[in-house]
Amino acid sequence: MTQPAPRPPDHRAGRAGKRYPGLTGTDAELVARHLDWMRLRGLSEGTIYHRRRALTRLAHALGVPLIDATAGQLGAWRARIAAGPAATMSEITNARQFYAWAADYEHLRADNPADRLLRPKRPRRLPRPISEADLMHAVAAAPPDVRAWLVLAAWAGLRAKEIALLRRECVLDQAPTPALLIAADATKGSAERLVPLCAFALAELRARGLPAAGWLFPRRDGRPQTPARVSQLANRHLHEAGISATLHQLRHRFGTQAYRASKDLRAVQELMGHADPATTAGYAAYDLDAAIEAVNAIPVPAPRLRPLEKAS
């Protein structure tokens, strides 16, 4: 009886290299394990994708296996990054997270060689909310779906991803206090939040039409819209209306108005879904009306008396 041919050995690194092009050998295996660990933690596929791309760039730049990199080699890599502060910070953060996993979770190293990389100081950026006149004009001129997206961004603070992945069961329109449930898999990060719906926003959603179940804004094939498509169509409408703002600036408008009305930074942080309260603090700094009122309230000297004119 003919014996079956022996099965080839299971080369995990080879499979990982095919799964993650641009990485080979132990780099491919380690990155695959690291990304699987990220999935177990419940991180989004977008975050995992960006981590993979960052580690692929790092492996190519170092020229040595990722696990063998020294602090000096990583410092030299850091010095060669030719990008702005935000992009540089992202590259450093991805490297630090990978080596922290390798050291603390997998115990593949005794240290984190990226732990002391110099990070750039991010410039403070204020929100740039759309003007009220532009917003009202854009909403009045928008087709039904785009109008609903503008309303969800400007009156509920939703991101493009949160609009695209909003489901009917997350529109709590029959609750005593109507609200939107932003699901963990439909937002940045992984934290659910509840956003109260004002009467205007709820009326707009009902006027547009609420399905019995499923995606609120499905494509023709039944799948949800992509965040990129929501941004593209909304921004195209704004620009065709002669408005230079973007959809995200309507979210800025929501945060700014919410802070002006409440003066409660913690409440606005929850409404916006910010992980870092420092991000929300920018909306407090942007309360221009309060700043103008404060400046105008500063006492000033009494007006000078004009000297009496001499009689001729």
Closest CA to 224 of 266, 140, 165: 165
Tell me which of 57, 109, 229, 248 is the catalytic residue: 248
Q: How many C-alpha atoms does 151 have within 13 Å on its Cβ side? A: 23
Is 237 assigned a catalytic role? no
Ramachandran assignment for 295, one of left (phi > 0), alpha (psi -120 to 50 degrees), beta (any other):
alpha
Tell me which of 57, 188, 208, 260 is the catalytic residue: 188
Is 251 assigned a catalytic role? yes
Tell me which of 20, 99, 283, 286 is the catalytic residue: 283
Is 121 assigned a catalytic role? no
Tell me which of 251, 252, 259, 286 is the catalytic residue: 251
Compute φ and ψ for 286, nearest 5 degrees.
-85, 5
Two structure tokens written together for 100: 């922290």
Is 159 assigned a catalytic role? yes
Two structure tokens written together for 24: 């080979």
Is 80 assigned a catalytic role? no
Supply the Cα-derived Rg of the chain in whole angstroms.
Answer: 27
Tell me which of 237, 259, 274, 286 is the catalytic residue: 274
Is 248 assigned a catalytic role? yes
Tell me which of 96, 159, 161, 252 is the catalytic residue: 159
Catalytic residue numbers read 159, 188, 248, 251, 274, 283
